């Protein structure tokens, strides 16, 4: 048998292969395991159905195959607090699950939370073998579910389509391993990289297709974050206004000195999502009272050496609130600070076919902002615009 030296993925390099991801490859799929990968691919497709509803839980899909190789049960995790994907699939399979196999995109839980442990449901159903794409990234529980199943004589194999499973739940992986949300920086710019300035005959720089995609991003993120400069200049409502069913993200404003107007749209627009304004002790108590009276919450955190809000403290507080993903929509100074402090994980640019020249500002502002290497993961046209999405590899 020829042994190939494994190439470590971007996620392993980022999160630390020795810490978590060394656990994920207990076995490689053999060349003959065609149906195993096909069943796991179906489980991944099912998991994606929870993209807008599963958070703060991960997206998980499951497929049950009977002893004759026929799919008899399918399921995905719909919402936090609801049944897990394995439970839905086992319910659908019924008695036909006995002696069969389970394909699941994330390691079954082995602890009591808002729902009972999935491992016990798998054992009770008489499943003979379990194929897991990725182990749980939480270092305190990783491998626990798989070990529990092995102790009951159930065959467990890990690693089929693992890279795809990790990519699907990158926010959950980041939250579990780094203790903060995954941060995506988003900028809509001209071809020469300017984010604002004189734009003829329109308020928006982007096309209608791009605006639709931006609202889809808002729907898929737990929180949207802007700086006080953007609030004063643009007065955004920071809500989801797409055509599909969705929820508003938590609205986050970074305001070191308490300048957010109580009359701003982020506070006056009706929404079930809270508005959090992160400030320092420099902000006045009277201003905080006015913000509270208009439905907002002021969270005072430490300040950095420059006197600005300490961004790691913001991310830590958001993580404590079970916010797994943050979409940073600007402005340029906020983008620069996240890059400067190595707190950004993904960059998304929307380029419009216009040149602004020296009448606009760069998408990143601040000094010094270090350079960073990126891995392109998506490039597509949206109407007349071009979207580029990349992971920041540092």
pLDDT in tens, 87-118: 999 999 999 999 999 999 999 999 887 888 99
Asked if residue 32 has pLDDT above 70, the reply is no
How distant, in Å, are the alpha carbons of 49, 188, 196, 206, 213 from that of 209?
A: 22, 12, 19, 8, 6
How many angstroms separate the CA atoms of 361 and 194, rounded?
5
Q: Is 94 left (phi over 0), alpha (psi -120 to 50) or beta?
A: left
8 Å CB contact between 343 and 315: yes
Q: Scan for tokens 């089929």, then name that residue.
A: 160
How many angstroms separate the CA atoms of 347 and 355, rounded?
21
Radius of gyration for the alpha carbons in the chain, expressed in angstroms and rounded: 23
How many angstroms separate the CA atoms of 258 and 310, rounded?
15
8 Å CB contact between 279 and 299: yes
Instruction: List the catalytic residue out of 12, 38, 70, 86.
Output: 86
371 pLDDT band, cuts 50/70/90, is confident
Mean pLDDT within 9-23: 43
Helix H or strand E encompassing 269: none
Q: What angle, rounded to 10 degrees, do the helices at 85-93 and 34-47 form?
A: 120
What are the strands of the beta sheet with 346-352, ordered from one edge?
Answer: 296-300, 275-279, 250-254, 223-227, 325-328, 182-190, 346-352, 385-392, 374-382
Whole-number average pLDDT of the chain: 88
pLDDT at residue 367, rounded to an integer: 66
Closest Cα partner for 328 from 145, 184, 151? 184
Token pair of 284 as six digits? 């006045």
Asked if residue 207 has pLDDT above 70, the reply is yes
Kindly state the DSSP code that residue 247 receives in the 8-state scheme.
-
Token pair of 152 as six digits? 């009951």
Q: Coil, strand or helix: which one is 3?
A: coil
8 Å CB contact between 77 and 168: no
198 pLDDT band, cuts 50/70/90, is low
pTM for this predicted structure:
0.86
Asked if residue 329 has pLDDT above 50, the reply is yes
How many angstroms separate the CA atoms of 126 and 374, rounded?
46
How many angstroms separate the CA atoms of 367 and 204, rounded?
28
Q: Is 86 one of the catalytic residues? A: yes
């Amino acid at each position: 048998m020829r042994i190939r030296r494994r190439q470590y993925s971007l996620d392993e390099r980022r999160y630390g292969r020795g810490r978590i991801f060394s656990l994920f490859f207990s076995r490689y799929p053999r060349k003959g395991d065609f149906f195993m990968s096909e069943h796991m691919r179906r489980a991944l497709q099912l998991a994606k159905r929870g993209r807008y509803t599963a958070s703060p839980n991960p997206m998980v899909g499951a497929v049950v195959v009977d002893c004759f190789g026929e799919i008899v049960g399918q399921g995905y995790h719909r919402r936090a607090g609801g049944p897990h994907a394995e439970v839905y699939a086992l319910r659908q399979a019924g008695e036909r699950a006995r002696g069969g196999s389970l394909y699941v995109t994330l390691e079954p839980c082995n602890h009591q939370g808002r729902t009972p442990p999935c491992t016990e449901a798998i054992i009770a159903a008489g499943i003979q073998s379990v194929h897991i794409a990725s182990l749980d990234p939480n270092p305190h529980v990783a491998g626990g579910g798989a070990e529990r199943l092995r102790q009951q004589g159930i065959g467990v194999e890990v690693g089929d389509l693992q890279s795809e499973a990790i990519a699907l739940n990158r926010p959950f992986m980041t939250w579990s391993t780094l203790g903060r949300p995954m941060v995506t920086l988003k900028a809509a710019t001209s071809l020469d990289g300017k984010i604002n300035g004189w734009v003829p005959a329109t308020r928006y720089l982007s096309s209608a297709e791009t605006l639709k995609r931006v609202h889809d991003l808002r729907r898929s993120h737990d929180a949207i974050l802007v700086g006080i400069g953007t609030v004063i200049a643009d007065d955004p409502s920071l809500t989801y206004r797409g055509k599909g069913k969705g929820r508003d993200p938590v609205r986050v404003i970074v305001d070191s000195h308490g300048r957010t107007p109580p009359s701003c749209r982020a506070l006056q627009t009706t929404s079930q999502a809270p508005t959090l304004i992160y400030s320092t002790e420099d902000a006045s108590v009277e201003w905080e009272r006015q913000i509270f009276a208009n439905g907002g919450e002021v969270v005072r955190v430490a300040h950095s050496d420059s006197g600005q809000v300490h961004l790691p403290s913001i991310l830590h507080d958001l993580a404590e609130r079970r916010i797994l993903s943050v979409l940073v929509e600007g402005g340029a100074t906020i983008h620069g600070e996240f890059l400067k402090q190595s707190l950004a994980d993904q960059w998304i640019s929307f380029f419009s076919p216009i040149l602004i020249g020296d009448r606009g500002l760069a998408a990143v502002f601040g000094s010094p902002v270090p350079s960073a290497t990126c891995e392109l993961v998506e490039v597509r046209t949206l109407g007349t615009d071009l979207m580029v999405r990349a992971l920041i590899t540092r």
